[in-house]
Each structure stands twice: as structure tokens, then as C-alpha cells.
Amino acid sequence: MVRLLVAQPSSARSAHKKGKQNGALDASQPPNDMLLPWPQHQNTNGLRRQKRDWVIPPINVPENSRGPFPQQLVRIRSDKDNDIPIRYSITGVGADQPPMEVFSIDSMSGRMYVTRPMDREERASYHLRAHAVDMNGNKVENPIDLYIYVIDMNDNRPEFINQVYNGSVDEGSKPGTYVMTVTANDADDGTTANGMVRYRIVTQTPQSPSQNMFTINSETGDIVTVAAGLDREKVQQYTVIVQATDMEGNLNYGLSNTATAIITVTDVNDNPPEFTASTYSGEVPENQVEVVVANLTVMDRDQPHSPNWNAFYRIISGDPSGHFSIRTDPVTNEGMVTVVKAVDYELNRAFMLTVMVSNQAPLASGIQMSFQSTAGVTISVVDVNEAPYFPSNHKLIRLEEGVPSGTVLTTFSAVDPDRFMQQAVRYSKLSDPANWLHINATNGQITTAAVLDRESLYIKNNVYEATFLAADNGIPPASGTGTLQIYLIDINDNAPELLPKEAQICERPGLNAINITAADADVDPNIGPYVFELPFVPAAVRKNWTITRLNGDYAQLSLRILYLEAGMYDVPITVTDSGNPPLSNTSIIKVKVCPCDENGDCTTIGAVAAAGLGTSAIVAILICIVILLTMVLLFVVWMKRREKERHTKQLLIDPEDDVRDNILKYDEEGGGEEDQDYDLSQLQQPEAMEHVLSKAPGVRRVDERPVGAEPQYPVRPVVPHPGDIGDFISEGLRAADNDPTAPPYDSLLVFDYEGSGSTAGSVSSLNSSSSGDQDYDYLNDWGPRFKKLADMYGGGEED
């Protein structure tokens, strides 16, 4: 409890000695505690001294007080309350601002109260202002500031930020290595012991290799190693219980809380990989690649599938040619010795490899490789039957074309690589497009079976290509192929051919000429320059024609005489090439001689005349063409007329509704073949209504509604009787026969169409009596056509 005293000058203090005591805060005597924040002083001359404000010391209130409430804190009064009535009030947070009414004041006496327990963690201080007014609300004194502080009590435990902390430390770490930090917060005042937290380790699990592997900084919460011997292969994880206590760690007075720190021992490469065996063996067939011949197993105690555990294999000796490589299985960490380059049994029957294994990550400092990180691998090569091969493949030979059949060209032999097997090799043709060659089956000698022609379609760029097969008699047999290429040297074996084969020229010289040349299947030097000549026989050739040389490959054929009658002429020309020896060929060129216009082009009439046809022949051809066109036109007109007649005779109704089709569909019998000769016009749709209206009354087509009066047919009696049925059918048949409009071949059409107002009774009139005792035996008297009905309705109880 603090007692507050308002000090005054001595002159003023003497004026208040009569029963007045300056305000003070005294918790032991609350009613007598008061503050005089607004003292006013007067000098001896009666002049009013200037008013001055007083600074009120802070008011301290302990939190969590148990009351009773309201609990008086202080009394505030002005020295003017002796002269006039004064009303007191307070404003600020906790009074008239949220939180509301934490503090209150007696407006008359000035006593201020706290109305409920305080919580420093909710609000540590309050700033209020005290006001004094008269009964009219006029300000008597200036507002005075009141500061209220809530005194902290140790009512909050330390709270860890996380209930579980995770940290890690490398195995083999030295003492003092930082691991992790745990943090706890206390809501109490951190400047007092209530909020000062200290840490300590309660337990460690497991307690191996020591029960105190870690320690914690009591103030910062840093956990560090305190002992050596962390080994992941023995203990992979530690669980540490950490306690935080306030009151500076005083376990007797402080509040405590705990959290769990999980410390994982991380792996370092402190264990080199070691082979599980000192030697390994395997075998591989020769000439095979991508084959696994041996699996190398290793053991590594480091963390699986980590760089400290992943194995890397290396062949350090025994494979200078690089036939093998070792790949690591990512799942099992085994080394798979794989053939990457084919091995040959005839060269190496076995391989002795030295293999070393290491990790993907380097070993930790101070760790040495083990002797068991090196092993030997023995690989045996298995001999297999290898196919013979041609040493020179493709083999190229050169010779002139035209060599006779049976000529020996070369020996195309193969080699069997199986030196340690006694095997025979036999040869055969695999591909010989022109069938020009023959190969000896035992020694591979190749001879010609036909004359080789460089101009053949099977030759490409002067080269003929054939493929041969060499097979041994091993088990299983093996074979190889070889290609022989024959380059054919050209000889002059093809005479030149005259070009073009046909041409035209004007009947008079000087207007135009024919350019001629030659084509030779041979190549240089067995082609041009060519010599073009006209033969001496027949003599008319040289008389009518002449050849003028243009260059080595071209010449001109023109008329020698002044006029040559239009027509087709065969002109022989002899062409000679420049080969050694030269070859000649006499070719015929068909020349059309025709009259020409001023431009030197054949006219149309001249072209026809040049074809060898006279005027009379041309006229005859034109007449034949006209006659042929006339016959075609007449035939088309006749066909159209016939088609029109056929259409006019067809029914205009759908074939499915045709009366004749309906009759034939139900297999109705007519009157025999004699009755088939009838007038079809009775079944056609009338084109006009006049003849229909004038038509005698009677039955018409089933798809045509009668227009005139209906024929009078007998009405069927309501009550059926065998005699009535027979008479009814007879009368209906007689009326239909006498009806000129009814089809003559089928009187049943009378009953196919009832129409409106038909004299024929409805089918519904054939109903039976409503009683179930009606006798249907009379149906047996109506003849065989009603036998089925008699069986159905007259069976009685037998059904």
C-alpha cells in the first residue's frame, strides 16, 4: 500500500490545519484516502494565485484480485467542494470506452473503484482523466491524468511454439555441434521473474551410447551435442523431452511445460561398399551384345538409396578393348556385367577382370577404402557356329559386255571364322536378276550363263549386281551373303536408229526441210558423229530427195525436185555411227508431202489429200456419216415413242395397290386360261370423268370410289342359315356376272369395297348369339370351304 501526500507551501498549509488533511492513497484506510489534485492558493493580500496542475503518481493495481468488488482505489476531490457542490467523473479506456466500466467513480464523493479482477496479459495499463464540474455542468477544474498500472502475477505457464521439434545432426559429429533450437514463450511480464524462462533436458531416449548425448542452453534453448559416438547405423533417432520453467527456472515456485525434440542422426559415408565375394564368374556366347554375364553383389551399411549407398563399379584391369561395362541396378545396388562389344572365341576364350566398387558420394574424412572393395570376375566365352563371310564385300570386277556364255569371271569365295570347327562351305545364288551368272557350289567360281549386255534394263550406271550365299554345315547351319558388282565396258554392238520416224514437208522445195538425227544405245565413243546417206536403190530416192549435213549429230532431208505430188512417201536413210568397227542401219522415215500456205504449214485440204484420199472418197465418207447419224436419230425417236406407249398403259396407282396384284397375292383362282383374256382398260385410272359418269352402274376398282348409282346386290340376312348363305352367294355371283362394269375375271371384287351406303351388310352382322349355347354344327352343311370354321366353332367340348 502506498500513501500519497500532496505537498503545499507552508503559508497554504496553515490555512488547512483546521480539520483538513491533504489527499493520500491508503489501502488500510480507504475512506480517508483522498487526492487534492486541484489545490488553489491565495496570498495574504487577498489576490488569487495562478492555478497550477498537479502530476498524480501512478496507481498500481494487482491482477487477479479476489475482491470484494467494487474495490476502492483512491478518492479525488477539489478544495472548492467546501464552497460549491462538485460532481466528479472519469473518462478514457476502461471507463466510458471499451472495455467499459472497469473503473467507476462516485460523482459526489470522488471515490474511484475497480469493478472486477484485472488481467495484465489482457491490458497492462490504463490512462484515465478525472473531471470536476459544478451542478450546472460548468468546469470547475482542469482535467487531471490518472495512470493505472496492473501489477503482474505469475499466472501463465511457458508455452512452446511447437509441441514437437524436429532436428538433425550428422553421425560422428564432435561434441558441441549445434543441433536445433526450441523456444517457449511466457505471457507474464518478461522483465520480472514471472516471465523469465529457463530450459533443461528431462529425458533422452535411447540412452545409447550415453544417457547424456545432448545438452541445452538454459536461456536460449539451443540443443548441442555433448558427447561423441553418434552412429546412424546403431541409433538413427533420439527423442529428447525438454522442459521450460519460468521464475528463472525455479522448480519450487515456477510454472513448467514440456515439449518433444526428435533428433535424427543423418548418414555420412563412413562405410565403404564391400563385395560379398572375392571372385565372380560368368559366361557369354561369342558375337552377342547387351547380355548380362554376371551380377556382382555388395554390402553397404549406409542409408539405402542415398549417394552414400549407391554403388559405382569400375573395371580396372582385364578388358583393354572395352568389351564389358558394369551397370548398377538402382533397386538392388548390384553390378551387372554387360557385354557392350562382341567377343570372338577365336581371339579370346576367357577374360579375367578386376573390378572396384565405390560410392556415388566420397567417403567421409578419415575413412579408408576396404580391401573387400575389389573383386575378380572370370568370364568364359562360349564358341558358337559363326556364319561364313566374304572378305571382299562388295566385290567389283570390270569386263567388256558381250563375253560368251561359259566365260570364267572370278572366284567369289567366303571364309568360315570357326577355325576350330571342321566345316565345309557351299555356295549358291541368292539374287541374279537377269540370270546371267553361275557359281560353283564348292569353290565359288563364277562363270557366265548368258551374254552380258550393257544396254539391258538390269544394268544401272553400267553395273550389274548379283548376290550370292555361302552356307556351312554346322549345327545349326549358318550362312552369309556377298554382293558381286560387274562393271560392263561398252562395245559397239548397237546400230544407230533414225529419228524422227514420221515428218511432213511441203510439195514444193525451199519452203521447209526435215531435221533428222540418230539415237544409239551405246555410249561414247561408239555413238556420233553420224553419217546420214540416201541409198542408191531405188533410184527415185536420190532423184527426189537430198540430205544436207548440219553437224555431227544432225542433218536435213529436203526435196531435190521442184514439185512432188502430195501423198505419203517412205524414204530410206542409212545412218552410220563412229564405233570401231562402225555399225550402220537403214531406217524408213514416213514423209507426208502436202500443199502449204505462205507460212510453210500444210493446209487442211492438203493434209487430207496428203493422206492419199481423193475428192470422191471424201464425199462418200461424208454421206456415210450423214446416213449413220440419221439412223441413230430415228432409233432414238422410236425408242421414246415406245416408252411413252408403255407408260400410258401402266396403272397410275402404286403396284402394291394394283387389283391384279392383290388377286394374285391371295392365290385366288380365276376362270382358267380362257378367262385371262380380258380388257385391261377396266383396271386403269380414268383420265377424265365423262366416261365414268356415262358408265353403267356397277362395281369399279377398289381404289376408285363409284360415282354413279351402286348396283343392287342382295342383302345378307341377319340371322345366318345354311340355305340363306347359299342363296346369298348365288345371287351375288349372278349380279356380278351381269354387271358390265365388274372385272370379268374376279367376281370377289364385289366384296372388296363396300363404300358408303353399300347394300352389302357389314361384317359385324356375322356376330353370333350372346348366349353360349349356340349350335355351330350347321357349318358342316355349307361345304368343304367352311370345314375349318366348323372345326373351330363346332368342336364342342372336345377343344
Whether 492 contacts 521, CB under 8 Å: no
pLDDT of residue 609: 52
Which superfamily does 289-300+308-381 belong to?
A: Cadherins (2.60.40.60)
Q: Which position has the grid cell 472486477?
A: 116
- pLDDT at position 421 is 77
Grid coordinates in use for 501?
A: 520416224
Q: Which parts of the chain register pLDDT below 70? A: 1-55, 511, 604-618, 648-724, 740-775, 794-799
Q: Residue 602 has what DSSP assignment?
A: B
Per the rule left: phi > 0, alpha: psi between -120 and 50, beta: everything else, 247 is left
Residues 115, 117, 120: CA angle, nearest 5 degrees: 125
CATH homologous superfamily of 54-153 equals Cadherins (2.60.40.60)
Q: What is the CATH number of domain 497-594?
A: 2.60.40.60
Residue 695: predicted pLDDT: 45
Interstrand relation of 479-489 and 395-400 (parallel, antiparallel or unpaired) = parallel
Map out the domains of the chain as residue ranges. 54-153, 159-266, 289-300+308-381, 394-489, 497-594
Beta-bridge partner residues of 485: 396, 465
Q: Determine the pLDDT at residue 607.
A: 56
CB 545 within 8 A of CB 561: no
Look up residue 415 and give its DSSP letter: B
Query: Could you give the 3-state DSSP secondary structure of residue 105?
Result: strand
Task: Indicate if the alpha-carbon torsion angle 595, 599, 605, 609 is positive or negative.
Answer: positive
Which has the closest alpha carbon to 215: 167, 177, 270? 177
Q: pLDDT value at position 738?
A: 75
Q: Which CATH architecture has domain 159-266?
A: Sandwich (2.60)
The predicted pLDDT at position 24 comes to: 33
Fold of 394-489: Immunoglobulin-like (2.60.40)
* Other Cβ atoms within 10 Å of 352 Cβ, number: 12
Q: From CA 182, how far away is CA 258, in angstroms rounded? A: 11
Query: Any idea which residue has 542409212 for its cell?
Result: 574
Nearest to 303 by CA among 236, 363, 371: 236
> Cα dihedral sign for 106, 112, 113, 114?
positive
Identical fold for domains 289-300+308-381 and 497-594, yes or no, is yes
Residue 744: the pLDDT is 53
Which residue bears the cell 536378276?
433
pLDDT of residue 276: 94
Amino acid letter, residue 146: L
Residue environment code for 264-292, b if the CB has 16+ CB neighbours within 10 A, otherwise e:
ebbbbbbbbbbbeeeebebebebeeeeee
Quick one: which of 40, 39, 74, 82 has its CA closest to 57? Answer: 74
**DSSP summary character for residue 773:** T
